[in-house]
A and B are shown apart, each in its own frame.
Chain A
Amino acid sequence: MSSTSASIPVESFEKRVSDLPHQGTSKLSPEEQVARAKAVIVSKLDSRSAMELETCIHCGMCSEACHFYEATQDAKYTPIHKVHLVRSVYRRELSPLRWFNRLFIREITAEELSEWQELLFNSCTECGRCDLICPMGIQITSGIRLGRQALAAADLMPPELRALNDEQTRENTLLGVGTDELHEAVRELDSQGIVVPLDRPKADVMLLTTVSDLLLYRQSFAAIARILDKLGLAWTIRSEAFEASNFGLLSGSEDSQMLMAKRVTDAARACGAKLVIVPECGHAYPALRFNAAEQLDQPLPFEVMAISEFLGREIKAGRLKVKKLDGSKKVTYHDPCKLGRHGGVFEEPRDALGALGIDLHEMESHGTTQYCCGGGGGVMMLAASEELRRRTFDIKMRQVEDSGADSVVTSCDTCRMTFERGAKLVNWNRPVESLAELVAANLAD
């Protein structure tokens, strides 16, 4: 299933994650924390979010869409409750009725900010399922993201995400994986006859990869390289900007998020790429496809595609030929939230599976309403979320079993790791496969 390269003398991915700090305290005073959190909300909240916050009727229906609420029946996990701090600041400081609201709504406190860390980070994967059920049409996830940014400014992001964000911002590495490890991986693939054109000065396509692909799912990296080679594209991967993950986004640090996006966009510009392919990494896709342009406030001069989207397009267009299997392989497809609800990638992976002759068994909730694996939005990295992840995994496991599929295919490393961890905990025997690996294993001659 997964493969950690034996040629790299590194500790396992899991070990590196477990070595991340699990505790930490802010150096800011309570007053500074409140002031910084408020400043972020006041400066970033936009018209759409403002109208949404004014429109909530407190019906609580969003709780029924949240896997954390469903798994625990604990009211505090109600999605709109998680936005309470953002809403309080908005209503006191920004609302057209702020002079009236101040009579009833008190200032937020540093204690509340600390308390909300659990709600905004540890128990929300930003999956966006709640956005689909709200009868008012409120995009609760936008409020969650703003809340995360406010907590990050108050130096209250979870220690694991802070460590990864700091490392990626300062060192341009993640879990110690940087240019050297990339080069080592490229050499290893080269020894297997898989060519990875590294640092080409000019290329039509620029591929990104991830720390998890380099440490844990090397076969996924190899699969994508084989596919691009098969297509005969002029592609490259750049040493200075190969990492697709964006821990600025996950930790709520907007400056870091922009820096990480800029590294990639600068590298793509430098090599003249017309297309940037995001590997099997869910959050990296909307971070680059949509957020980067919005943050830089200018359209990107290249196209951005998730690998699953790219595979579906190339197969459907007839440019990528795959072998048709005999139809006996019963598979269900898990839509990564960030590719699906946040990125509209639903049909392309199914097109690819269809071309492979896979017997696709959809889960009851799939596509726009699929359940999150429980590890998205950085939650997979958090030790404090382990029990919640286990409980929400039960929901996903039931959905898979009820579908009648023998295995799960997905196109996101985080989802895959969350599935594998969950399966290991409960001795569940359904394998989880990578779409890219499945396609690469069945390329037509």
Chain B
Amino acid sequence: MKAMTLLDLVRGPLFFWALMIMIAGILWRLSGLIFFRLQSRAAKPKDDAPIVAGLRTVALRSVPPHELEKNITFQHFTGYAWHIGWFATFLFLGAHLSLIKSILGFAWPALPNGVIMVLAAMTLGILLTLWIRRWYNPVLRLISNFDDHLSVVLTILPLFTGITAFTHWAPFGTRYETMLAIHILSVELLMVWMPFGKIFHVVTSLIVRFRTGAAFSRRGVKA
């Protein structure tokens, strides 16, 4: 019987367990939050369309008012840039789409590899810049914790290992299969950490925006 390679391990049982931990973790944390005690809403609302207000805040909170925007322009746009770059790399690289097709049975057109590599490198650069900024900016240094740093590292690793695997860069004579396995392992680490750290905001941020928009509307404020 053929021995299981590292690549087999990360593609098989490790991926399965990472996925299970991610799903269970999300359900656990989310249900714990949703079924928490609710605040009284006995006050007569000023606006009787909180759902519309909530949806408006979901959309508009992506674009802060201009006099607030001018103070956060760098952070705001770099934030957008790396999120777009990261997800574009994940969702439009040909190799990833082959995997997606093997799982879902369908896929969508890929972007040229060269474009994806530029996006991935740009994203990596921005994430490293923002991480360095987190260490040196007084506000960010004060409010940062272990989760912030670990989450950045775990977000960077799939990009870095993906670029090395894709370009067949093989430090210390490492085989391509090993680099690919390390790449998949880095994704699994991210999946496992996702429900426990700040990356969980991908699940809750739109819900929070919606609830805030609805809460403000009850007081007659467009937030």
Contacts and interface: CB of A to CB of B under 8 A. Distances in A.
Interface of A: 46-48, 50-52, 54-61, 63-65, 69, 75-76, 78, 80-81, 84, 94-97, 100, 104, 131-139, 286, 289-300, 340-345, 364-365, 368-369
Given A56-B198, A60-B139, A299-B42, 8 more contacts: A52-B212, A78-B143, A100-B196, A132-B68, A135-B205, A137-B211, A294-B41, A369-B65
B208 A52 contact: yes
Contacts of A100: 196
B215 interface: yes
Nearest to B146: A104
B206 to A, nearest CB: 9
A297 B67 CA distance: 38
Contacts of A133: 64-65, 68, 72
Contacts of A291: 43
Contact of A293 (B44, B146, B148): B44
Contact of B208 (A63, A84, A97, A136): A136
Interface centre among B141, B143, B205 (most CB of A within 10 A): B143
Contacts of B72: 61, 64, 133
B34 interface: yes
A132 B65 contact: yes
Interface string B20-52: 000000001101111111111111101100000
B129 to A, nearest CB: 14
A96 B29 contact: yes
B29 A131 contact: no
Interface centre among B47, B76, B141, B208 (most CB of A within 10 A): B208
A139 B215 contact: yes
Interface residues of B, number: 62
Contact of A51 (B44, B207, B223): B207
B16 to A, nearest CB: 22
Contacts of A95: 32
B37 A54 contact: no
Given A137-B213, A365-B67, A78 B142 contact: yes
B144 interface: yes
Nearest to A49: B39
Interface string B44-74: 1011000000000100011011011001100
A54 B40 contact: no
Contacts of B215: 48, 139
Contacts of B65: 132-133, 368-369
A136 B201 contact: yes
Nearest to B45: A290
Contact of B57 (A47, A97, A104, A137): A137
A51 B46 contact: no
A58 B29 CA distance: 19
Contacts, number: 176
Given A59-B75, A96-B32, A368-B223, A137 B61 contact: yes
A46 B40 CA distance: 9
Interface in B152-207: 196, 198, 200-201, 204-205, 207
A139 B215 CA distance: 10
24 contacts: A47-B38, A51-B33, A54-B33, A54-B200, A55-B208, A58-B140, A61-B75, A75-B138, A81-B142, A81-B143, A97-B196, A132-B223, A135-B64, A135-B205, A137-B57, A137-B209, A138-B212, A286-B219, A293-B43, A295-B40, A300-B44, A342-B219, A343-B219, A344-B220
Query: Which 8 interchain pairs have the tightest Cβ spacing?
Result: A344-B220, A96-B32, A137-B209, A47-B36, A64-B71, A293-B43, A137-B212, A75-B138
Contacts of B37: 46-47
A74 B213 CA distance: 30
A59 B79 contact: yes
B221 interface: yes
Contacts of A56: 198, 201
B39 A48 contact: yes
B46 to A, nearest CB: 5
Interface centre among A69, A290, A293, A299 (most CB of B within 10 A): A290
Contacts of A138: 208, 212
A214 B5 CA distance: 84
Contacts of B210: 137
B190 to A, nearest CB: 16
A62 to B, nearest CB: 9
Contacts of A295: 40
Contacts of A104: 145-146
Contact of A368 (B33, B205, B221): B221
B102 interface: no
B222 interface: yes
Contacts of B61: 134-137
A297 B42 contact: yes
B140 A60 contact: yes
B204 A299 contact: no
Given A48-B211, A137-B57, A342-B219, A289 B139 contact: no
A58 B113 CA distance: 33
